[in-house]
Amino acid sequence: MRNAGLSIEVLIEYVALVAQGDETIEARKELLIEQRNHLIKKIEDMNKTLERLNYKIEVYEGLLVEKEKELKKSEN
């Protein structure tokens, strides 16, 4: 479960629920659903950040191409 990115606190809670037996199956499921939702949000945030970085890189690539064109023109 640690490889799934769960915090130590959540793992402790999960293990405690497991130790309580089958009457906590629903609570364990809800805990996992909650953690999945947190992960989905984190992925969405990371994708937005990646998109912003890609955009900025594209802008800089465009600027570099323009500078190269200007340099070639000034060399001629």
pLDDT of residue 74: 87
Please identify every stretch of the chain with a pLDDT value under 70, giving residue numbers as ranges.
Answer: 2
Do residues 54 and 68 lie in contact, with contact meaning Cβ atoms separated by under 8 Å? no
CA dihedral 22, 2, 43, 37 (to 10 degrees): 20
For residue 3, CA distances in Å to 12, 14, 43 come to 14, 14, 16
The architecture CATH gives domain 2-75: Orthogonal Bundle (1.10)
Please give the pLDDT value at position 29: 98
Q: In the chain, where are the structural domains located? A: 2-75
Do 48 and 31 touch, CB atoms closer than 8 A? no
